[in-house]
A and B are shown apart, each in its own frame.
Chain A
Amino acid sequence: MNLSESFLTALDSLIANKLRAALTMLGVIIGVAAVIALMSIGNGFSETITGEIQSFVTNLLTITTDGENSGGYLTLSNADIAALADSLNTPALADVSAMVTGNQEVVFSGNSSQTTVAGVTANYLAMNNLGEFQSGAGLTQQDLDIKARVAVLGSEAAPDLFETSYPVGQSVKINGVSYEVIGVLEESGSGFNNTDGNVFIPLTTAQSRLYSDRTRDGQKAVTIITAQAVSEEQTDAAIEQITETLRRQHDIIYAADDDFSIFSQSDLLETFDTITTTMTAFLGAIAGISLVVGGIGIMNIMLVSVTERTREIGIRKAVGALKRDILAQFLLESVFLSVLGGILGILLGWTISKVAGRLIDLNTVVSVSNVLLATGFASAVGLVFGIYPAWRAADLRPIEALRYE
């Protein structure tokens, strides 16, 4: 019997047993689709997070109070900003900015919203990737010097308060005091640590009107100091210089711990890297399980149909089929089911990943290697468990296969 006859026989047999064929194929389809969908969603997450991390300025350092060694006080002060800005102390730093924050109710003609109001230095917005304006402009050093009552709104804070009216030139009330809106920021686009809902006012204004926190020795306190190293390579040197300067500023004795903490963006990068790696591994594990489950499904339906098929093999052998005729037929049946199931599985998985991507607003990525892995595994399982029982049955004497119950 030649190959095309075997192929037609296999096709005949599949058409005659549509339900069995469909169930077998379903195993392959589910296995392949689950892996492709899960892996593509996982890859989408990883790429989104990595993309956001890469938008960070990598030579930026963030200095905050170390809660454990501060005795309940904020430890960073205006004097520290000045000390860090002095290039004699910190030659590795290019720029230093600071912020003091808290929650306030912001009111505009009846609309009110509870949000973060941050007092910042004039250079803060530009240093933290917030230098783009929809309208108006940012804070100036003069605003700080005269403790001006002016405010810059984040892109989400503006419509919350003003709805459709033009905010610049209007005045909002914060803690009962009027501030003139001088600018509205562009969307920062960063999902992580999103500041689009914030309102920014001059640091000096905030310190005198909203946040009266002092350090233990009575200095006006700030919540966060951000410092930019001259270059990424200089980040380590900058951390050392900042530590030295602040310890001297705070009169910390040699044996005592720092009362502040310094984070670099590269620390954050490493943390995120670990998270994405873990998540990819986790999704990979889920995909692996779905492969195994799909594989078991394929295996079951193949093995369950063996009783009927053993008798069929007996009948075929009794009327003159050679062993290779039987094997060719079953091999082709399995190949056909695996290939068609694989293709349908790829289509289904791709569709699921696109639909899921749209639902959760994620750019899912279907990778070729995942498609190959899923299809290859499902096909291999389909082939092995499609052929192995047939191979055993074809080895039986026809009379034994006919009697098989």
Chain B
Amino acid sequence: MIAMQNITKSYEMGTQVVHALRGLDLNIQEGEFVAIMGPSGSGKSTLMNIIGCLDAPNSGTYTLDGIDVSHMTDDEQARIRNRRVGFVFQQFNLLSRTSALKQVALPLMYAGYGRSERMSRAAAALEAVGLGDRMDHRPDELSGGQQQRVAIARALATNPSIILADEPTGNLDTQSGEEILQIFKTLHEEKGITLIMITHDPEIAAAAERTIWIRDGVIQEEHQS
């Protein structure tokens, strides 16, 4: 499903050029649960952003579901993000002063669904993450764990085939983190969603079927559990 060959990515930090990815190859099959680990600055977030079309590689080829996405226009990539990929960020990245229901309905709006269908699908997604009773709450009225669940519901709203999660439990206490992890596991097991997750926590990585270690912009080791 995901096939990357010789991906490189560098960017400027002030006057310095940072080589985040240096010729990375990666293949991920449909329905896999993959954990990506590595020290800070190893390029794992950059990899995640490229997988999710939030960023583009400098060179190399990347095909998603057999489509070459590395040379798409901005708007074409926006459609990929909208239909095929769901993001969950460490900082939640919710819109301020906006109700949970509207947050989750947002990708559905950009996908072109009508208002009533948006609302019913968003409500269903919120029910699925256990926030059926918090639909009118805004981010500042929700706990960190609840905010992250809103973000997961948003990622699920358009029924994407891949969920990308960048340290989704990094800003949460242990209990909320476990709840979030449980939601991911359930999604993976019941719906067969492809799940790619960056984490520092070996326990969380242990829940994955496959763990990839990244160091200095290349894959250092992989092991199947």
Contact = CB atoms under 8 A, between A and B. Distances in A.
Contacts of A5: 109
A398 B110 CA distance: 15
A95 to B, nearest CB: 80
Interface stretch (B59-67, B79-87, B168-176): B79-87
A397 B55 contact: yes
A275 interface: no
Contacts of B111: 320
A105 interface: no
A306 B95 CA distance: 14
Contacts, number: 67
Interface in A308-324: 308, 311-312, 314-323
B110 A320 contact: yes
A196 interface: no
Contacts of B94: 315
8 closest A-B pairs by beta carbon, nearest first, are A320-B82, A319-B107, A320-B110, A399-B54, A16-B97, A399-B55, A398-B54, A399-B49
Contacts of A317: 78, 81
Interface of B: 49, 54-56, 74-75, 78-79, 81-83, 87, 89, 93-98, 102, 106-107, 109-112, 154, 158
B78 A315 contact: no
B78 A322 contact: yes
Contacts of A1: 109-110, 112
A23 to B, nearest CB: 15
Nearest to B56: A397
B82 A323 contact: no
A316 B54 contact: no
Contacts of A314: 93
Contacts of A399: 49, 54-55
30 contacts: A9-B109, A12-B98, A12-B102, A16-B96, A16-B98, A312-B96, A315-B93, A315-B94, A315-B95, A316-B110, A317-B78, A317-B81, A318-B54, A318-B81, A318-B93, A319-B110, A319-B154, A320-B79, A320-B81, A320-B82, A320-B107, A321-B78, A322-B79, A323-B75, A325-B110, A398-B54, A399-B54, A402-B54, A402-B89, A402-B93
